[in-house]
Amino acid sequence: MKAISLDTLFMKLRRQILLAESYSEIKNLAFIIKSCRLKPYSYLFEAKSSKLILYKWWFDEYGNSLRILKKQRLKITYNDLALNKDKISSTDLYYGLPLDKISRMSKLVFICAGRDEDMLEDCFFISYLGIDNYLRTYLYMFGELTQVSSLLLGIANLKAIAKNVDIKYFQELKKKENIVLPCQDARVWLSYNPPSEEFLKIIEKQHEAVFLLTQR
């Protein structure tokens, strides 16, 4: 994929993104598309049209895709084999930066933490919403931290993030739908960033590995 400014691309696709949200009747779909840095495949890799087109197939830089199947129904395909991954490159200007720098550039943090009872290992997602309104998501498992696709959080959690962009404190989310995390009894939180001392105490007590990582 040609190296282009993501902000410029989204400005060009503003009407198409709003059309996708309107057609799907899913509130905040525009936020999900933009925060996860999704692009319409046919717009980038097939013949472009000057007409206003409803794009139903969007992909991210990790080779995952989101499809609008019909009204009120989306489908995420992880490692979508229909995508030509040789044409896909990262559009995140801050990809690869240390977690502490990403945190300082962010206004909201999402944490889903649990424990693999078989392996006795902590595992969790931590996702930061930057001041540029892009999500940067990390998976901690088997003692390693890896930057991953924000689509792994699942639609329900992405909707929750969109709904609480201006959160002023923190809250625990009761719904843990569609999250790709092989851990038992996972708990999910949203907090403004930097987090309050009260929230950090909760995280330190319940998931020390998450606390230590966020304090780097």
The domain boundary residue, chosen from 87, 114, 147:
87
Count of other CB atoms within 10 angstroms of residue 156: 14
Of 33, 57, 87, the domain-final residue: 87
Q: How confident is the model at residue 179 (pLDDT cuts 50, 70, 90)?
A: low
Residues 132 and 160 in one domain: yes
Question: What's the predicted TM-score (pTM) here?
Answer: 0.89
Given a cut of 70, whether residue 61 has pLDDT beyond it is: yes
Examine residue 1 and state whether it is found in any structural domain, yes or no: no
Q: Is the pLDDT of residue 137 over 70?
A: yes
Q: Are residues 80 and 163 in the same domain?
A: no
67 and 116 belong to one structural domain = no
| Average pLDDT of span 27-52 | 89
Query: Which residue, of 59, 87, 115, is where some domain finishes?
Result: 87
| CA distance linking residue 56 with residue 66, whole number of Å | 8
In this structure, the answer to whether residues 52 and 107 fall within a common structural domain is: no
122 and 184 part of one domain:
yes
- Whether 92 is covered by a domain: the verdict is no
Same domain, yes or no: 110 and 147: yes
- Looking at the structure, tell me whether residues 126 and 153 fall in a common domain: yes
Rounded Cα gap, residues 180 and 141, in angstroms: 12
Inside any domain, residue 54: yes
Given a cut of 60, whether residue 39 has pLDDT beyond it is: yes
pLDDT for residue 129 is more than 90: yes
pLDDT band at residue 186 under the 50/70/90 scheme:
confident
Residue 94 lies in a domain: no
Is 91:62 a contact under the CB 8 Å cutoff? no
Total number of domains in the chain: 2
User: Would you state the pLDDT for residue 138?
Assistant: 94
Residue 14 belongs to some domain of the structure: yes
> Are residue 55 and residue 138 in the same domain, yes or no?
no
Q: Is residue 93 part of a domain?
A: no
Query: The domain containing residue 34 runs over which residues?
Result: 6-87
56 closest CA partner among 78, 36, 71, 45 = 71
Q: Mean pLDDT for the chain?
A: 87
Are residue 142 and residue 208 in the same domain, yes or no? yes
Which of the four pLDDT bands, split at 50, 70 and 90, describes residue 174?
A: confident
Residues 112 and 190 both lie in one domain: yes
Whole-number Å distance between alpha carbons of 31 and 157: 12
Give the least confident one: 116-130, 138-152, 172-186. 172-186
CA angle 139, 141, 146 (to 5 degrees): 40
pLDDT at 98 over 50: yes
What average pLDDT does the segment 95-109 reach?
Answer: 93
Which H or E run contains 107? Answer: strand 106-116
The pLDDT score that the predictor gives to residue 76 is 95
Q: Are residues 55 and 118 in the same domain?
A: no
77: buried, middle or exposed (CB in 10 Å: 19+, 13-18, 0-12)?
Answer: middle
User: What's residue 132's pLDDT?
Assistant: 94
- The per-residue pLDDT for 184 is 61
